[in-house]
Amino acid sequence: MNDIVKEVRVGHLCCGSGFGAKGFRKGNARVGNLVAKFRNIGGVDVDPAGVRDFERFAGVKGTLLDLMSLEQYRAFHGHEPPPGWREATPDDIRAAMGYERPHIWFVSAPCKGFSGLLSEKASASAKYQALNGLTLRAVWLALESNKDDPAEFFLFENVPRIANRGRPLLRAIQALFEDYGYAYAETTHDCGELGGLGQSRKRFLMVARHREKVPPFLYEPPKRRLRGVGEILDRLPMPGDDRAGPMHRMPALHWKTWVRLAFVEAGSDWRSLNKLKVEGGVLADFGIAPDEQWRAGVLGVNRWEDSSGVIASRNGPTNGAFSVADPRAPAGAGEYGQYGVRGWGETMGAVINVKSPGQGGFAVADPRTGFGPATHHNILHVHDWGDTGKTVTGGTHPSGGGLCVADPRAPAGREGSGKYKVVAFGEPSGSVIGASTTGQGAFAVADPRPKALNGEHRDGYSTQGHYGVVPWGRHSGAVPAFAKNNNGPWSVADPRDMPGELLQGGPGAGLPAENDKLVAVIRALDGTWHRPFTTLELAALQSLFDPDEWFGFEMDGTSDSAWRERIGNAVPPDAAAAVAGVMGRTLLLAWAGETFMLSSDPIWVQPLTVALSVDTPQRIEATE
């Protein structure tokens, strides 16, 4: 039976750099002999660099267009728009889509005003309220642009906090959906689980289904295992490799930041630094020394399998690495080896006139004890409490025979004091005396309660993980727009060998000043290099490209901060591809006239199921 290809057209508003659109291009779905093929028909954004990126990754023309109303523009920018600026209209949206009707609208509106990284006070300002209001206007422009022939699906994606901070806007958007004939539901999803990423990234998703056009259920994409950062980064070259381009350069950090990162335990954050002993602003228990050989390997010893350095005219052991760790037995060592011990079954070497243990192999491993049962030497012997004693002799010193015993009884007068004794949590304490430190009595307790911090259990302690270092085998958290080493867990304990050109300092070189900016390699206590992620690595964690095909990946511009903002705002392509697959399957069912399909996949969140299957408008708000 030949396959019948059905095209699924996707339109994007607030499209950013187009990585979500890239994911839709990778989507696939099949129902019987019906096969879905996704095609992006256009994208709209206000950022010129983002639009240029969109055209590269989405494979279709992007449109530079400000979707704000005049009132929103004034509130956000604080001034009047430039000459020639005008409010976007539904016809502008149709033109941006090449006058093609999308089957799916995908809107990922700006989320800064809803982000937890923004204070509650700042989020309530007129500037960010105007930015938040763009979500409602973008949805209205999309709905109005094709009101006579609506899109089958509408996807609205944002940060989870929009469910709280943006509740009035969500209600207004849902009222629009009802007016235009859509059933809808809210849910959250983890992009990391949908796309099998090396990070966990929770996002808010509102899905609207046109009730007349799409009656079937929407099934949930299968969840995949979160990967460790090392599984992804190990496929990239080391930071600073010229082949990977400027996005893989190591950022120059303050020297004090490098030192802090080196002392953060992998898997932890800045709180590790509280364990350090600092006296007068200096680490009391640690020092930093150059990771280089002193004077080109003075007294250096080469391994047996290593190659030697250049042999110069002066090649003595004290002016270079001109010694070798030779695993072969020295000639004659078996005959004259000092302090040699012969096995019981071996032959003896020649007996010479000097025959003490320090002058040759004149010792033997004798398996006999040397003491028979009839003897009573038992030097320093301690009897068990249940054993019989040996012969009592005239000697009374422990070294004079078996005159010691392991007595299990408590020493007289020690029952109530017990230096360094730890009392069980359910036992009474000893007497409290004037001197009550742990060395003067039983003044310690085995406390089974969990350690608390600031009155709360530690596992409930919320932190952004400043200076956090991620272990090589663990996945990262969500990559936000400003992922820097000092505002979250954006460093990694990298076990790979460090490039020599990155090593700083040398013999006799002084340490940099605390605010000197440089690229440094400090070998941390766990033997790894604690360093920030490069911009290219953050893109890899977001699945913006295949790590096995890293060569040639680039984004518009030259600014790391601009790249990182667009990467943090991106919808991971692998997660978008998973969503595209289930939506494509639902569309194929609808186009085939089916209203139900038996599937082993779970239906995507029960409230969403109701929203996508009922024929009357309902207000349904899902919570985790």
Output the CA–CA distances (angstroms, integers) from residue 451 to 227, 456, 461, in the order listed: 30, 9, 11
> What is the model's pLDDT at position 361?
66
> What is the model's pLDDT at position 393?
65
- Residue 75, both tokens: 């509130």
Q: How crowded is residue 145: how many other Cβ atoms within 10 Å of its Cβ? A: 24
pLDDT band, very low/low/confident/very high, at 355 (cuts 50, 70, 90)? low
Residue partners of 21: CB distance under 8 A and separation at least 6: 10, 12, 15, 40, 43, 54, 57, 58, 59, 60, 106, 576
> What is the model's pLDDT at position 582?
85
Q: Is the pLDDT of residue 142 over 80?
A: yes
Q: Considering only 186-190, 363-367, 441-445, which range has the smallest mean pLDDT?
A: 441-445
pTM: 0.63
pLDDT band, very low/low/confident/very high, at 620 (cuts 50, 70, 90)? very low
- Alpha-carbon distance of 262 to 511, in angstroms, equals 15
Q: Considering only 278-287, 320-329, 343-352, which range has the smallest mean pLDDT?
A: 343-352
Alpha helices in 293-452 (DSSP H): 333-336
CB 205 within 8 A of CB 220: no
- Residue entry with tokens 């990284």: 117
> What is the model's pLDDT at position 80?
94
- Alpha-carbon distance of 568 to 547, in angstroms, equals 18
- Alpha-carbon distance of 418 to 405, in angstroms, equals 21
> What is the model's pLDDT at position 600?
44
3-state SS string for 177-242: HHHCCEEEEEEEEEHHHHHCCCECCEEEEEEEEECCCCCCCCECCCCCCCCCHHHHHCCCCCCCCH
> What is the model's pLDDT at position 417?
57
The residues that bridge with 449 in the sheet, in sequence order, are none
Q: Is the pLDDT of residue 202 over 60?
A: yes
- Alpha-carbon distance of 137 to 549, in angstroms, equals 39
Q: Considering only 57-71, 239-253, 414-428, which range has the smallest mean pLDDT?
A: 414-428
- Residue 486, both tokens: 């000092």
Could you give the 3-state DSSP secondary structure of residue 499?
coil
CA angle in degrees (0–180, nearest 5) for 300-302-306: 150
> What is the model's pLDDT at position 451?
54
High-pLDDT (> 70) share of the chain, %: 71
Mean pLDDT of 170-183: 91
Mean pLDDT of 39-68: 94
CB 488 within 8 A of CB 464: yes
Q: Is the pLDDT of residue 604 over 60?
A: no
> What is the model's pLDDT at position 595?
57
- Residue 565, both tokens: 């903002």
User: Between residues 501 and 281, which one has the greater pLDDT?
Assistant: 281
> What is the model's pLDDT at position 217?
61
- Alpha-carbon distance of 96 to 58, in angstroms, equals 14
pLDDT band, very low/low/confident/very high, at 43 (cuts 50, 70, 90)? very high
> What is the model's pLDDT at position 392?
66
CB 16 within 8 A of CB 47: yes
Q: Is the pLDDT of residue 281 over 50?
A: yes
> What is the model's pLDDT at position 145?
94
CB 235 within 8 A of CB 550: yes
Q: Considering only 94-108, 278-292, 410-424, which range has the smallest mean pLDDT?
A: 410-424
User: Between residues 69 and 454, which one has the greater pLDDT?
Assistant: 69
Average per-residue pLDDT in the chain? 77
pLDDT band, very low/low/confident/very high, at 140 (cuts 50, 70, 90)? very high
Q: Is the pLDDT of residue 52 over 90?
A: yes
**557 torsion bin: left (phi>0), alpha (psi -120 to 50), beta (else):** left
CB 424 within 8 A of CB 446: yes
- Residue entry with tokens 């320093």: 380
**Domains defined along the chain, listed by start:** 4-227+571-611 (3.40.50.150), 231-291+460-567 (no CATH)
CB 216 within 8 A of CB 595: yes
Q: Is the pLDDT of residue 382 over 70?
A: yes
Closest by alpha carbon to 416, among 433, 431, 436?
431
Mean pLDDT of 507-528: 79
- Alpha-carbon distance of 262 to 498, in angstroms, equals 14
Q: Is the pLDDT of residue 75 over 80?
A: yes
Q: Is the pLDDT of residue 505 over 50?
A: no
- Alpha-carbon distance of 551 to 541, in angstroms, equals 16
Q: Is the pLDDT of residue 39 over 60?
A: yes
Mean pLDDT of 215-239: 79
- Alpha-carbon distance of 288 to 504, in angstroms, equals 12
User: Between residues 384 and 601, which one has the greater pLDDT?
Assistant: 384
> What is the model's pLDDT at position 618?
43
Q: At what angle do helices 573-591 and 19-26 cross, to 10 degrees?
A: 50
pLDDT band, very low/low/confident/very high, at 623 (cuts 50, 70, 90)? very low
Mean pLDDT of 278-284: 81
- Residue 470, both tokens: 């991620």
pLDDT band, very low/low/confident/very high, at 11 (cuts 50, 70, 90)? very high
Mean pLDDT of 316-336: 65
High-pLDDT (> 90) share of the chain, %: 21
User: What number of CA atoms fall less than 13 Å from residue 115's CA on the CB side?
Assistant: 17
Q: Is the pLDDT of residue 207 over 70?
A: yes
User: What number of CA atoms fall less than 13 Å from residue 342's CA on the CB side?
Assistant: 16
- Alpha-carbon distance of 455 to 331, in angstroms, equals 70
Closest by alpha carbon to 46, among 71, 13, 4?
13
The residues that bridge with 206 in the sheet, in sequence order, are 156, 186
Mean pLDDT of 285-299: 65
Between the two ends of the chain, the Cα-to-Cα distance in Å is 43
- Residue 229, both tokens: 């950062």
According to DSSP, residue 98 is labeled T
Q: How crowded is residue 222: how many other Cβ atoms within 10 Å of its Cβ? A: 14
Could you give the 3-state DSSP secondary structure of residue 537?
helix
Q: Is the pLDDT of residue 121 over 50?
A: yes
Strand (E) or helix (H) holding 420? none
Encode pLDDT of 408-435 as tens digits: 765 555 454 566 677 788 888 777 776 6
> What is the model's pLDDT at position 423?
76
